[in-house]
Amino acid sequence: MHNIKINRGLNISLNGMAVLQTADSSTSTHYAVKPSDFVGLIPKLAVKVGFPVKAGTILFNDKQNPDIKFTSPVSGVVSAIERGDKRKILSVVVEAASTQEYESFAISDPSKMSRADIVSNLLVSGAWTHIKQRPYGTLANPNATPKSIFISIFDSAPLGVDYHYVLANEADMFQKGIDVLKQLTTGKVHVGFDASKTLPDGLKNLKNVEITAYSGKHPAGLVGTHINQLDPINKGDVVWQVQPQDVLVIGRLFAKGHYDVSKTVALVGSEVERPQYYKTKQGALLSSVVGGKIKGQNVRYISGNVLTGTMLELNAYLSAYHEMISVIPEGNHYQFFGWITPNFHKFSMSKTYFSWLMPNKSYTLDTNINGGHRAYVVTGQYEKVVPLDIYPVELIKACITNDIDRMEQLGIYEVLEEDFALCDFVCTSKQETQAILRQGLDLMIKEVG
Amino acid sequence: MKVIRNILDGMKPHVQKGGKFHKFHAMYDAAETLFFVPNKVTYKGAHIRDAVDLKRNMFMVVIALVPALLFGMWNTGYQYHLSIGQSASLFDNFLHGFLAVLPIIIVSYVVGLGIEIIFAQMRGHEVNEGYFVTGVLIPLIIPVDTPLWMVALAVIFAVIIGKEVFGGTGMNIFNPALVARAFLFFAYPSQMSGDKIWIDGLTQGQGIVDGFSGATPLAKLAAGEPGSVLSAYDMFMGWIPGSIGETSTLAILIGALFLLFTGVASWRVMLSVFVGGAAMGLLMNAFAVNTYMEIPFYYHFLMGGFAFGAVFMATDPVTASQTATGKIIYGFLIGVMAVLIRVLNPAYPEGMMLAILLLNTFAPLIDYYVIGANVSKRLKRVKA
């Protein structure tokens, strides 16, 4: 095991860190699968309203790659297919039955299975959708073989999940999931963890895996950072990434024969009465987790962390891949001479505020943009928070100008939005770098594939 | 603050689209965002944002300019009283200078911001804060006796040709304040040089007492009278003739410390300008054939606009190189060119302005090669 120190980055210390306690969330009456959680997905429905389903029964598949199936997180009845503009499918909603039934899939030892059997078991159960690929951050392509697979149990983002706590009692399933993934790659399965904490006993002796400790500020915990350090993506390379609790989903599938999307999510943020962990399932109603646990009135609910998450209404559903819910105050108010006053309660990477004098202080930050959109003026900011061997501003400019060659030259294959999330945060000109990068990635998918 | 908010809210419907005074919306926005940070919230990307914005960033530069500005005002009065052979109190010197410099600042801001607002209105943008800094830089780098109409003309040229034709703040190739200075220098060469323009009132024919010379150290050196060059101490403190804000290296250093401390200006650029200047100065010493080439290298930092240019002009993030390595090369070459032009080109006593403008042109090229190295490293990885 080796130790890698990440020198650049930024920790944003927010109020509302989850205490290490887990409770059951209240029962969610409905669960949903949202096609918008998956990059570029065009769903092809396999069910109609009123169809009875079990956990693991197909709801829809990927039109471009029909082998990829999206299955129900719970058993019950399809209660709604919500559509938006141009009849785009927003979510397929299942009303949960009181007792849960599972479709049964093969229970077997992955080390004795052929790669093709493992792939088909993952595909038919829906567990395949828990694997993301780089470049582009799309669903993994079943016909591709990744040169390596990366898992990070170090969430360095603001109010990040403590995976050492969450996974402490799940080591068996985590190992099982890794065993499965190991069969899918020609290279290594990498697990990165937080060097400042000791690994829980169960995770110390993981097999089939290359464990690396990372120290440093955010984004030291992102797989993008890990990939860049250990096995950078070149043109034509494919690398997969899996969220820690999605590894458990895969592990349970092979250990128990069930598609079980149970998750422990962290409910965090300054507006949460008592930030802690809750047991729930992917696709549950947000209100089942946060209902009655919020202090403020004017708040924003975010599925995921405050840098990369998705804004949700209280009656919406938890997104795939997200393992936390952040609740922060909305910032829709004016600040009198806010740009000139000292503002000790504000946080900034720059030394134009006083937050650098109080490195141990936690902040309550709201959603105000804190300024107006401008052309690029200040330079050298993004470089401070992107610890990759990449020129971030140049890459963003290549995305703005739709210059495919330049994007390729500057390393677009190596990055996803999350790697640039801190650029959004620090930008003095308030540029939307994640959105711009996604445009560039989408163009690459279309033109290069 | 409630009162101001109410007034602004009352005006808002009229300047919004469809309102009677929509053509003034850019002006309204500028005023509104001056008083209040807007209530806009994030709707995509990161949900929280850093507290810093361009206004605060630019304001830090203005703060950093205050020592040079205040000293410049005092020195204007001091030089004036010297020229007429009177001694005056600190306050009288400052007051005289204040009254001489204030009109230039007002002209600079009124004309410059007027043009900015018109362009913002035409483009449907918000008024950019860039002129915040340019507006005070221009008065500081021109001689105090520059007629106000020339100031106005230079500002118009700088803002339109130097900035807006490229698309506004952030898009310009040349530092707008230096474009204004260069405009004055090349359009009115006879008025902009000599030994009268630097002292308030001298061009209008006010009397000079015997023994007073309004010539700047650089002009004396260029004219081959090194014997009369002032002491390093006088030049460091800045009670010498020169452009309004450029004379006191001490005041500029205070500003420099503030800029470096807040991280608003790049230490790479600033440091490498001085290193470049020192390197070229020492090289000149090594091959010295005349007295100008023999002067100690640090004299270059104390004379003319070298320090001011290194601290406030070369570090302009828009026109400098943008990569870390590029910044070092860019700064170094500015220092080298400034000293080279000063010492070896008799036509231009001051080389800093031209050195920075020249390197502004080359900044994108420097970046191109620096980024090119990263690109070829990536290509090599594919082949390996």
Q: Which two tokens stand for residue B227?
A: 């014997």
Identify the burial level of A322 via C-beta atoms within 10 angstroms of its C-beta, where 0-12 means exposed, 13-18 middle and 19 or more buried.
buried
Same fold yes or no, A2-23+109-256 and A24-96: no
Mean pLDDT of A39-58: 93
* Chain B contact set for A235 (CB, 8 A): 382
Q: Which tops the pLDDT comparison, B327 or B83?
A: B327
Q: Which two tokens stand for residue A60?
A: 């829809």
Both B67 and B30 in a single domain? no
Nearest to A374 among B48, B59, B170 (CB): B170
Q: Which domain holds residue B231?
A: 37-383
Residue B206 confidence class, pLDDT cut points 50, 70, 90: low
Which of B25, B34, B39, B49 is best to mutate for the A interface (most A CBs within 10 A)? B49
Q: Which two tokens stand for residue B210?
A: 């015997």
Which of B28, B33, B42, B169 is best to mutate for the A interface (most A CBs within 10 A)? B42
Residue A447, number of CB atoms within 10 A of its CB: 10
* Chain B contact set for A434 (CB, 8 A): 44-46
Nearest to B171 among A232, A371, A375 (CB): A375
Interchain CB contact of B48 with A (< 8 Å):
yes
pLDDT value at B334 more than 80: yes
* Chain B contact set for A12 (CB, 8 A): 48
Q: How far is B285 from chain A (nearest CA, A)?
A: 36
Residue B371 confidence class, pLDDT cut points 50, 70, 90: very high
Compute the distance between CA of residue A125 and CA of residue A104 in angstroms, rounded to an integer. Answer: 9
B residues 306..365 contacting A (CB < 8 A) = 317-318, 320, 322-324, 327
Flag if B39 and A411 touch (Cβ within 8 Å): no
pLDDT value at B347 more than 80: no
Nearest to A117 by CA among A126, A129, A108: A108
Residue-level length of chain B: 384
Flag if A234 and B378 touch (Cβ within 8 Å): yes
pLDDT value at B383 more than 90: no
Which of A11, A428, A436, A439 is best to mutate for the B interface (most B CBs within 10 A)? A428
Interchain CB contact of B30 with A (< 8 Å):
no
Mean pLDDT of A92-106: 92
Residue B374, number of CB atoms within 10 A of its CB: 18
Cβ contact A81:A45 at 8 Å: yes
Q: Residue B289's pLDDT is what?
A: 83
Residue A44, number of CB atoms within 10 A of its CB: 12
Interchain CB contact of B210 with A (< 8 Å):
no
Flag if B47 and A374 touch (Cβ within 8 Å): no
Q: How far is A434 from chain B (nearest CA, A)?
A: 6
Q: What is the DSSP letter of B164?
A: G
Q: Residue B270's pLDDT is what?
A: 95
Interchain CB contact of B380 with A (< 8 Å):
no
The total number of structural domains that make up chain B: 2
Both B236 and B320 in a single domain? yes
Which residues does A278 contact at the CB level (< 8 Å), separation at least 6?
A: A22, A23, A24, A25, A264, A265, A267, A289
Spatial strand order in the sheet of A89-96: A30-33, A89-96, A76-83, A52-53
Q: What is the mean pLDDT of chain B?
A: 88
Compute the distance between CA of residue B259 and CA of residue B255 in angstroms, rounded to an integer. Answer: 6
Nearest to A18 by CA among A154, A151, A163, A153: A163
Flag if B54 and A389 touch (Cβ within 8 Å): no
Flag if A307 and B39 touch (Cβ within 8 Å): no
Question: Which residues does residue A132 pair with via DSSP β-bridges, in sequence order?
Answer: A139, A241
Q: Which two tokens stand for residue A363?
A: 């902040």
Both B336 and B275 in a single domain? yes
Place of tokens 């392509």: A141
Nearest to A432 among B36, B45, B266 (CB): B45
Compute the distance between CA of residue A380 and CA of residue B243 in angstroms, rounded to an integer. Answer: 31
* Chain B contact set for A422 (CB, 8 A): 46
pLDDT tens-digit readout, B142-195: 999 899 999 999 999 999 999 999 988 888 999 999 999 999 999 988 888 777
pLDDT value at A445 more than 70: yes
Flag if A374 and B262 touch (Cβ within 8 Å): no
Nearest to B5 among A234, A306, A334 (CB): A334
Q: Residue A186's pLDDT is what?
A: 92
Q: Residue B292's pLDDT is what?
A: 81
Instruction: Identify the weakest region by mean pLDDT among A266-270, B198-202, B261-265, B313-317.
Output: B198-202
Q: Residue B37's pLDDT is what?
A: 83
Q: Which two tokens stand for residue A101?
A: 């039934």
- What pTM, to 2 d.p., does this model score? 0.91
Domain-wise residue ranges, chain A: 2-23+109-256, 24-96, 262-340, 381-447
* Chain B contact set for A435 (CB, 8 A): 44-45
Nearest to A351 among B4, B263, B371 (CB): B263
* Chain A contact set for B51 (CB, 8 A): 343, 346-348, 353, 355, 370
Q: How far is A194 from chain B (nearest CA, A)?
A: 23
For B130, which residue in chain A has the nearest alpha carbon? Answer: A377
Interchain CB contact of B165 with A (< 8 Å):
no
Both B246 and B265 in a single domain? yes
Q: Residue A418's pLDDT is what?
A: 94
- Mean pLDDT comparison of A20-24, B23-27, B237-241, highest-scoring range: A20-24
Residue A104, number of CB atoms within 10 A of its CB: 13
Angle between helices B249-262 and B267-286 (to 10 degrees): 140
* Chain A contact set for B25 (CB, 8 A): none
Q: How far is B236 from chain A (nearest CA, A)?
A: 28
Handedness of CA B246, B248, B251, B255 (dihedral sign): positive
Both B30 and B51 in a single domain? no
Instruction: Identify the weakest region by mean pLDDT among A44-58, A169-183, B121-135.
Output: B121-135
Q: Peptide bond preceding A219: is omega within 30 degrees of 0, i.e. cis? A: yes
Q: Residue A309's pLDDT is what?
A: 93
Calculate the alpha carbon distances from B148 to A22, A60, B107, B143, B203 in Å.
Answer: 72, 73, 7, 11, 13
Q: Which two tokens stand for residue A43?
A: 């769903």
Flag if A376 and B170 touch (Cβ within 8 Å): yes
Flag if A12 and B55 touch (Cβ within 8 Å): no
In the CATH scheme, what architecture does the domain A2-23+109-256 have? 3-Layer(aba) Sandwich (3.40)
The domain made up of A262-340 has a fold known as Ubiquitin-like (UB roll) (3.10.20)
ipTM for the predicted complex: 0.91
In a 3-state reduction of DSSP, which class is residue A267?
strand
Handedness of CA A354, A359, A363, A365 (dihedral sign): positive
pLDDT tens-digit readout, A218-258: 999 999 999 999 999 998 899 999 999 999 999 999 999 99
Instruction: Identify the weakest region by mean pLDDT among A165-174, B17-26, B116-125.
Output: B17-26
Mean pLDDT of A124-152: 94
Residue B324 confidence class, pLDDT cut points 50, 70, 90: very high
Question: Which residues does residue A82 pair with via DSSP β-bridges, in sequence order?
Answer: A91
Residue B14 confidence class, pLDDT cut points 50, 70, 90: confident
pLDDT tens-digit readout, B301-323: 998 889 999 999 999 999 999 99
pLDDT value at B204 more than 70: no
Which residues does A12 contact at the CB level (< 8 Å), separation at least 6?
A: A158, A218, A306, A307, A347, A363, A365, A425, B48
Mind giving me the DSSP string for B249-260? HHHHHHHHHHHH
Flag if B47 and A326 touch (Cβ within 8 Å): yes
pLDDT value at A65 more than 70: yes
Q: What is the mean pLDDT of chain A?
A: 92
Q: Residue A404's pLDDT is what?
A: 94
> Taking the mean position of all CA atoms in its chain, how far away is CA B9?
37
Both B26 and B112 in a single domain? no
Flag if A352 and B60 touch (Cβ within 8 Å): yes
pLDDT value at B40 more than 80: yes
Class for domain A24-96, per CATH? mainly beta
* Chain B contact set for A306 (CB, 8 A): 46-48
* Chain B contact set for A339 (CB, 8 A): 37, 53, 55-56, 59
Q: How far is B153 from chain A (nearest CA, A)?
A: 26
Residue A335 confidence class, pLDDT cut points 50, 70, 90: confident
Instruction: Identify the weakest region by mean pLDDT among A64-73, A219-228, B32-41, B372-381.
Output: B32-41
Nearest to A369 among B42, B129, B169 (CB): B42
Which residues does B180 contact at the CB level (< 8 Å), separation at least 6?
A: B134, B138, B142, B154, B155, B157, B158, B162
Q: Which tops the pLDDT comparison, B39 or A251?
A: A251
Calculate the alpha carbon distances from A211 to A14, A171, A208, A229, B36 in Å.
Answer: 29, 14, 10, 13, 50
Tell me how many degrees the CA angle A433-A437-A439 measures, rounded to the nearest 5. Answer: 120
For B129, which residue in chain A has the nearest alpha carbon? Answer: A374
Flag if A379 and B374 touch (Cβ within 8 Å): no
pLDDT value at B278 more than 90: yes
pLDDT value at B228 more than 70: no
Cβ contact A222:A385 at 8 Å: no
Residue B328 confidence class, pLDDT cut points 50, 70, 90: very high
Interchain CB contact of B373 with A (< 8 Å):
no
Phi first, then psi, for residue A115 (nearest 5°) are: -60, -40
Q: Residue B254's pLDDT is what?
A: 96
- Please report, to the nearest 10 degrees, the dihedral formed by the alpha carbons of residues A306, A309, A311, A315 taken in order: -110
Calculate the alpha carbon distances from A363 to A269, A290, A348, B37 in Å.
Answer: 10, 21, 11, 19
Q: Residue A434's pLDDT is what?
A: 95
Nearest to B119 by CA among B171, B75, B159: B159
Calculate the alpha carbon distances from A200 to A119, A160, A197, B295 in Å.
Answer: 30, 17, 9, 68
Mean pLDDT of B215-221: 78
Residue B259, number of CB atoms within 10 A of its CB: 22
For A366, which residue in chain B has the nearest alpha carbon? Answer: B48
Residue A405, number of CB atoms within 10 A of its CB: 8
pLDDT tens-digit readout, A265-305: 999 999 999 999 999 999 999 999 998 899 888 999 999 99
Compute the distance between CA of residue A414 and CA of residue A402 in angstroms, rounded to an integer. Answer: 17
Q: How far is B224 from chain A (nearest CA, A)?
A: 42
Handedness of CA A19, A21, A24, A26 (dihedral sign): negative
Mind giving me the DSSP string for A77-117? EEEEEEE-GGG-EEEEEEEEPSS--B-------GGGS-HHH
Parallel/antiparallel/unpaired status of strands A335-336 and B36-37: antiparallel
> Taking the mean position of all CA atoms in its chain, how far away is CA A160?
11
